[in-house]
Amino acid sequence: MPSEPRTLFVIINESRLEVSAPNTTMFHDQWFIKEAFTDENMTRRFLDMHVRGYYKDHTIHFYRSPTFIYDDQDIEVMLKFIDPLLAKLTTLCQVKEGQPINLYAGRGHNSQLIKTLCNS
């Protein structure tokens, strides 16, 4: 079953930001294989190793692993890449300047609001 449309991202090795096409219905593992970031045999390890997330409805969620966990280092990595991510979202998703965007660590009932950003 496909997921709801959103824009995916991943920060590979805490040094490279990749962003999907907007409004994809793929899951992260499908996107990783399609873009050759990993193969089917290494997908679980890739999910465990890299901060990833999605943008939807003026909200960014980020996490690591198939269980959507995060720690202080993941938050630090995400904050390091927030400006480049916002720049890509502005172009790809037409996020308007001045639009507030909520940044959450985790997903679902375990998510924590880290900060509200103002796209400028």
Per-residue pLDDT tens for 18-59? Answer: 999 999 999 998 999 899 888 788 888 888 899 999 999 889
What domain range includes position 78?
A: 7-118
Number of domains forming the structure of the chain: 1
Q: Average model confidence (pLDDT) for the chain?
A: 89
Is the pLDDT score of 120 beyond 70? no
Is the pLDDT score of 12 beyond 60? yes
Q: Does residue 17 lie within any of the structural domains?
A: yes
Joined together, the tokens standing for residue 76 give: 């630090």
- Write down the pLDDT at residue 47: 86
Q: Does residue 26 lie within any of the structural domains?
A: yes
- Residue 72 CA to residue 36 CA, distance in Å, equals 28
Q: Does residue 1 lie within any of the structural domains?
A: no
Does residue 71 come out as left (phi exceeding 0), alpha (psi in the -120 to 50 range) or beta?
Answer: beta
Q: Does residue 2 lie within any of the structural domains?
A: no
pLDDT digits (tens, 9 = 90+) for 45-103: 888 899 999 999 889 999 998 889 999 999 999 999 999 999 998 888 877 778 889 99
